[in-house]
Structure 1
Amino acid sequence: MDEWVARERRQKNETIWSPKDVTFKTKLFVITVLPLVAVSILVGAITAFQASRLIEVQTSTVEQRILASKRQELQNTVALALTSIKILYDHEPGGRQAAQEEAKRILHDVTFGEDGYFFVYLRDGTNIVHPKLPHLVGNKWWDLQDPKGDFVIRNLMLAAQSGGGFHRYIWDKPSIGVEAEKLGYAVMLDKWDWMLGTGLYIDDIAQQVDAIRADFTANVRQTLLVIFLITMVAILLILSAVATVSFSEQKFADGKLKELTHRIVDIQEQERKRVSSELHDSISQLLVSVRYGIEMIHSKAAGTLDLQRQAENCLRILDDAISEVRRISKDLRPSVLDDMGLAAALVSLAKDFESQSGITVRVSTERCRARLSDSAKTGLYRVVQEALTNVAKHAAADEVRIALSAGVKDLTLSIEDNGVGLPSPIPTANGLGIRNMLERVETHGGTMTMSRLPLGGTAIRVTMPLATSNGPVEAA
């Protein structure tokens, strides 16, 4: 029966931790988590792609809007400049040369903003007005190129000759002393063969566009982060659900196995009780009857020495057989446990153990209400029996103390010896004996602890709940 119980426990462990279950849990995890991760990645990728396109469209729109505003501003500025020299250009008071000189003076003196000014070039590319770069005045710049290879003056001239137009190029920015992108606007004064123009630096547009792009990018990152966090929370919830299901299944399996183990132990104890009763009431009585018959033969064979000796040998053998049957019967199920209760059974067990091992056993018990079931009493008796066996095998002790006390709600059993104590680290319930003790106690809702005593030795403490109803007084 013990081997069958041990096999069932091994099968329990194999069932709980079998590769099949692990594979099932893995499959459950995969089929729930992978689709979620895939959807999250897809949503994130689509969001990033759409956001990238939206950023480009929005920044392009903003850039075009700013450029349109700048173009309008340039046209208005040139219109004001033309208005300021209109009388000179139309009527040429004092002659053409005098009018042109006055017009150049006016255009030279008119500035706007930090880097706004007017420039004038002749048709051949000769500069005649440039308030910011005076070294350009009087020189021909028809072939002037910017760092990108653009022919600046030629293209401005073409835009002016087409009725007024815009051109983008790279030019020195006076306020910072470095080259920057500039949007120029030029018109032709055909009567004087002048190209009048001005421009606005548009490097600030790039800065504005970059700032807008950075804002959009930050928003997209926050959106992706939210998607990631939602995915992680969902994965954690799924993991928690899988763990809960797994724990519930394992707890259910443990409960069923404990119930089965309890049932097996009950059947085992019933079988032991039946066999013990059969040995005590049947086999033992038959042996005693045979002994009476042999004693009668021995008494009537007074004149036959050989027959008397044979009878005496048979009597000795029968006495040994009767003692062995009674010992086996008592080990299987002590009748005192059923007849007189747990306390008397522990005293009897202690006396037998003391006579067999030579180890002194001191037993202290209290009387309590009959609030322990027969199976609980049997379980405690087996715990003490297993503990004494361990003391005899491993403790090297010469004294054992057993104490049984009952409180209001709990019954406490302690077993202490003065031996070598538990090994370090303290063993867990891997051994079959300790596991049996634990399961017998836990089956009835109790707890069992093992510890080392300060002066050496081992202490086992069992606490088991008592029934609330009161009954007749007896030794537990």
Structure 2
Amino acid sequence: MKKLWPEIKSRWKIILLAIVPLITAASIIAYTVRHQAIVLEQQQQEIIKETYLASKDSELKNYIALARRSIAHLYDSGRTDAAAMEEAKTILAKLDYGEDGYFFIYDYEGNSLVHARQWNLVGTNQWEIRDTNGKLVIQDLINRARHGGGFEDYVWKKPSSHNVEPKRAYVIALPKWGWMLGTGVYLDDIDRALEKVNSQVRDNINDTTFWIVFIAFLVIILIILLSLAINIRADTQLKLLAQRIVNAQEEERARIARDLHDGVMNMLAGIKFMIEAILIRLSNNDQSTSIHMTLEDLPTKLKDTLAELRRIVRDLHPIALDLGLKVAIEQLSLNMEDADIAAEFSTHGEVDQVSTEAKIALYRVAQEALNNVKQCAHSEHVSVKLEGDSKRVKLTIEDDGVGFNVNRIKRDPDRGFGIRNMQERVEAIGGKLIITSSSQGTTVTATIPCH
């Protein structure tokens, strides 16, 4: 992994660093949700089972109370004769509720006296009968009844299905007659209900897990697409910026070459020709007056040559900035007089507390803006204002020229380089450049924070 990581491109590293935590978080969330859902399922099963059994217990007690009242006129009369007991059996044998609801009676010896659904058991002794779990059903029921009555759980054949199912019975004793009276409900209904609930819960868990995974997948795809889009856009902008820098370098080199060729080289060539002429005249013994006049022009030519060289050097590197931002921009303003444009320079507050980078950026903005005024604005007057305080330094340049369409120039790759260059310089150090223009003139405002 350590060997593979450096070979991965930066864009994919960024995507992986965004996706891996998301996948991890989604996995943890999915596992937590699933685990909690299973725990809740188990708790829900217990609650449902307890509630169901409580409701069935209440029903069984009510059924036994009903059966007890149906024979109360016989049992409470004190009669113990066979006729009374037979009449009671007949009444109880006819009582039932639902498809599998019935009453049964056993005497204390385990003999079946009444069984409304399994008549074949009546008259037989069931004392030793066991259910499929080995439970002595009749003995336990009789013991429960003789000890105050209550509930007993066992398995018994269900009349409607003829299948052995879990059953819960409630029994009481009729001690005067030596009977155990009971009824019960089969619990396979609760098993089906719980299975249905479990199936629904499992479906909900699976649905929740699916949606978590699906949403995480969509987010991952979205992150990848956005990252690719951002990277493509960033790559495009970087390429354009690199191309602009290259173009700027080439343009600057071409400008220097033109300036040196058209200015300094021609001046030096003129000086060379003048010197050659002097030599020729000296060799021809011309009058000294003519030679003197020619030599007098040499200082002027050299002076002009030096001034041109200083201008070129100044454009390449603003040496005046070493004396301060105010002095450097004021010098740029004064140079406007060479183009017959009246320049007004003013300053307010402390303007030299910004960084060197900020000073260079403001100087270049002023240089570019004033050059544009010279070349394109057809302006007669320009105002240069430099303001500063503890938070920022602001440069404002206003002219009364013909103006231009700012947005169109910005979008034009062949014409808007100067504006883009100013904007990139200012924004690179956290500043802001605003250019407004109309037929009454143009205003360029550059604001750079001090820190």
Secondary structure class of the residue paired with 2:173: strand
Is the Cα–Cα contact under 8 Å of residues 92 and 98 in structure 1 kept in the other structure?
Answer: no
Tell me the equivalent position of 2:136: 151
How is 1:25-40 mapped onto 2 (pairs within 5 angstroms)? Answer: 25-40=11-26
**1:130 pairs with 101, 115, 126, which one?**
115
Indicate yes or no: 2:210 matched with 1:217. no
Q: Does 1:175 align with 2:183?
A: no
Match of 1:101 in 2: 86
The aligned residue for residue 41 of structure 2 is 55
Q: 1: CA distance between counterparts of 2:251 and 2:73?
A: 125
CA contact (8 A) 1:184 1:197 kept: yes
- Per-residue CA distance 1:32-52 (angstroms, 9 max, x = gap): 111111111111111111111
Secondary structure of the 1:180 match is strand
Q: Is the 8 A contact 1:183 1:200 kept in 2?
A: yes
Match of 1:206 among 174, 188, 191: 191
What is aligned with 1:120? Answer: 105
**TM-score, length-scaled by structure 1:** 0.49
User: Counterparts in 2 of 1:264-303, with a 5 A limit?
Assistant: none
Query: In 1, distance between residues paired with 2:85 and 2:148?
Result: 21
Please show how residues 46-445 of structure 1 align to structure 2 within 5 Å: 46-93=32-79, 96-256=81-241
Amino acid at match of 1:223: T
1:89 and 1:19 mapped to 2: Cα distance? Answer: 92
Aligned-partner residue type, residue 238 of structure 1: I
Instruction: For residue 197 of structure 1, report the CA deviation from its aligned partner.
Output: 0.5
2:193 partner letter: Q
| 1:151 partner letter | L
Where does structure 1 differ by over 6 angstroms across 4 or more consecutive aligned residues? 260-270
Distance across 2 between alignment mates of 1:48 and 1:171:
38
Distance in 2 (CA, whole Å) between partners of 1:28 and 1:21 is 13
Larger RCO (CA under 8 A, 6+ residues apart): 1
CA distance, structure 2, for counterparts of residue 179 and residue 149 of structure 1? 14
Distance 2:146 2:133 in 1: 23
Q: The residue matched to 1:117 in structure 2 has which SS?
A: strand
Partner of 1:44: 30
Q: Quote the Cα distance in structure 1 between the aligned partners of 2:39 and 2:251.
A: 76
**Structure 1 residue 260, shift from structure 2 partner:** 7.2
CA separation in 2, counterparts of 1:73 and 1:19? 71
User: 1:256, CA displacement in angstroms?
Assistant: 4.9
Which amino acid in structure 2 is aligned with residue 101 of structure 1?
A: E
The CA distance in 2 between the partners of 1:34 and 1:73, in whole Å, is 58
Measure, in 2, the Cα distance between the counterparts of 1:34 and 1:82. 71
SS in 2 for 1:148: coil
Give the drift of 1:188: 0.9
One-letter amino acid matched to 1:236:
I
2:19 corresponds to which letter in structure 1? V
Paired letter, 1:31: L
- Measure the CA separation in 1 of the matches of 2:48 and 2:13: 51
Return the offset for 1:225.
Answer: 2.4
Distance in 2 (CA, whole Å) between partners of 1:265 and 1:175 is: 100
> Per the alignment, in what secondary structure is the counterpart of residue 172 of structure 2?
strand
- Give the structure 1 partner of residue 402 of structure 2: none
For the residues of structure 2 that align with 1:48 and 1:261, how far apart are their CA atoms?
59
Measured against aligned partners, the alpha-carbon deviations of 1:183-230 in whole angstroms (never above 9, x if no partner) come to: 111111112211111111121111222222222332233322222222
Structure 1 residues 122 and 19 mapped into 2: Cα distance closer, same or farther (>3 Å)? closer
Question: 1:129 Cα shift?
Answer: 1.1
Q: How many residues align?
A: 256
* Residue in structure 1 matched with residue 417 of structure 2 by the alignment: none
Paired letter, 1:58: Q
Distance verdict in 2 for CA 1:181–1:241, change over 3 Å: same
For residues 101-138 of structure 1, the C-alpha deviation after alignment (integer angstroms, 9 at most, x for no partner) is 11111111211211111111121211111121112112
Q: Is contact 1:92-1:99 (8 Å) kept? A: no
- Determine what percentage of the aligned residue pairs are the same residue: 32
1:24 paired residue number: 10
More off after superposition, 230-239 vs 183-192: 230-239
- TM-score, normalising length from structure 2? 0.51
Q: 2 CA distance for matches of 1:140 and 1:113? A: 27
Shift of 1:237: 2.2
Separation in 2, partners of 1:32, 1:24 = 12
